[in-house]
Chain A
Amino acid sequence: MLTTIVIYSLLAVALIVSLMKSREKTLMAVKVALRVLKNSAISLIVILALVGLTLGVLSPQTISKILGKEAGIWGTLLATLIGAVTLIPSLIAFPLAGSLYRSGSTVATIAAFITSLTLVGLVTAPMEIKYLGKRFTLLRNLLSLFVALLLALIMGVIV
């Protein structure tokens, strides 16, 4: 909700300023937007369908069960893996992480899960490759995977 309000307010201000300055340029901007939309529409629908499939099959309850059972370092590794291959919106991910925490998962496991969920994206990789290239995508995701594990290790010690 907040997201929507912020974006639309930003757009309203930008559009008004742009229209006041130049009609032609505003029209050009609309054309650019349409081009990007056309280029991304299919990838976006595919990603949304994959989010749906993931959450439908691997519901938050199922993930909670899987991660709740595995303790210690295996739990952390599994959490990193699940975070990397799934795409769960934060509106669901944080309550899920909270319930994991209450049911006895370690701080390291939760930190690993959140970090790899947000920074590593197998589902979004095709789209990332399309826009940023194979090398960029591969390197960024691999490094992020390491970051998830390192960050988990550190958070497990200090939090």
Chain B
Amino acid sequence: MKKFIPLIVVGVLFIILAIWWPPKALASAEVTLDYLKEMILIMPPVFLLMGLLEVWIPKEKIQNWLGNSSGLKGGLLSVLLGTLPTGPVYVAFPLAAYLLEQGASVRNIILFLGSWAALKIPQMMLEIKFLGLKFAVVRFFLTLFFLLIVGQIMNLAFKKKREFL
């Protein structure tokens, strides 16, 4: 029952908006439906890929590839995984949780989530088009640099206690 509370809250928000400002409510509903359609197309294959990953790739492999001793290779792999064109960041949370559970380092998960959110390839193409090549390239490398720092800090923060939930 508890998990339905957020759903009820947004439902109420929609109703309030519909009474108070009908055109905006209509616009909101249209946007929601648009993205719902896109999600319905994207979620099942992403989750299926996750399922296949979980079944076929042994824990030790992931630990080797993305664990604390994976070094530069692990970092590069995390960024590469993140930049693949694969849907919005909230799709990445379950995947990140799974990788952490399998022994990926916190630093690599930050790199993975960060590049998934901010350095996606299709997104970069839009960025170059609207803001120019120089802006996009500088932002790419600066973001990567800062993600490394955030990853390092969070690695330290979780070093003693690798507990997440």
List residues of A whose CB falls within 8 A of some B CB. 2-4, 6-8, 10-11, 14-15, 18, 21, 25-26, 28-34, 36-37, 39-40, 42-53, 55-57, 59, 89-91, 94-95, 97-98, 101, 107, 110-111, 114-115, 118-119, 121, 124, 126-128, 130-133, 135-136, 139-140, 143-144, 147, 150-151, 154-155, 158-159
B-side contacts of A121, CB under 8 Å: 89-90, 117
Residue of B nearest to A116 (CB): B118
A-side contacts of B157, CB under 8 Å: 135, 139
Please encode chain B, from 19 to 40, with 1 for each CB lying within 8 Å of some chain A CB and 0 for all others: 0010011111111110110010
Q: Are B94 and A131 in contact (CB under 8 A)?
A: yes
Q: How far is the CA of A7 from the CA of B40 in the complex (A)?
A: 13
Majority SS at the chain A contact face: helix
B-side contacts of A29, CB under 8 Å: 48, 51-52, 54-56
Number of interface residues of B (CB under 8 A): 82
Could you tell me the distance in whole angstroms from the C-beta of B30 to the nearest C-beta in chain A? 8
Could you tell me the distance in whole angstroms from the C-beta of B20 to the nearest C-beta in chain A? 11
Q: Are B27 and A56 in contact (CB under 8 A)?
A: yes
Residue of A nearest to B31 (CB): A52
Q: How far is the CA of A121 from the CA of B123 in the complex (A)?
A: 17
A-side contacts of B114, CB under 8 Å: 119, 144
Q: Are A124 and B89 in contact (CB under 8 A)?
A: yes
Q: Are B118 and A119 in contact (CB under 8 A)?
A: yes
Q: How far is the CA of A126 from the CA of B93 in the complex (A)?
A: 11
Could you tell me the distance in whole angstroms from the C-beta of A89 to the nearest C-beta in chain B? 7
Q: Does B44 contact A (CB under 8 A)?
A: yes
Residue of B nearest to A111 (CB): B139
Q: Are A159 and B134 in contact (CB under 8 A)?
A: yes
Could you tell me the distance in whole angstroms from the C-beta of B89 to the nearest C-beta in chain A? 7
B-side contacts of A155, CB under 8 Å: 135, 138-139, 142
Q: How far is the CA of A29 from the CA of B13 in the complex (A)?
A: 37
List residues of B whose CB falls within 8 A of some A CB. 3-4, 6-7, 9-11, 13-14, 17, 21, 24-33, 35-36, 39, 41-52, 54-56, 84-90, 93-94, 96-97, 100, 106, 110, 113-114, 117-118, 120, 122-123, 126-127, 129-131, 134-135, 138-139, 142-143, 146-147, 149-150, 153-154, 157-158, 163-165
Q: Are A4 and B139 in contact (CB under 8 A)?
A: no
Could you tell me the distance in whole angstroms from the C-beta of B111 to the nearest C-beta in chain A? 12
Q: How far is the CA of A121 from the CA of B118 in the complex (A)?
A: 12
* 20 contacts across the A-B interface (CB closer than 8 A): A6-B86, A32-B51, A36-B50, A44-B39, A44-B43, A44-B90, A46-B7, A49-B10, A51-B31, A53-B32, A55-B28, A56-B28, A89-B35, A94-B131, A98-B129, A114-B118, A124-B89, A126-B6, A132-B164, A147-B147
Q: Are A37 and B138 in contact (CB under 8 A)?
A: no
Q: Are A131 and B142 in contact (CB under 8 A)?
A: no
Q: Return the contact of A115 from the options B9, B143, B149 (Cβ within 8 A).
A: B143
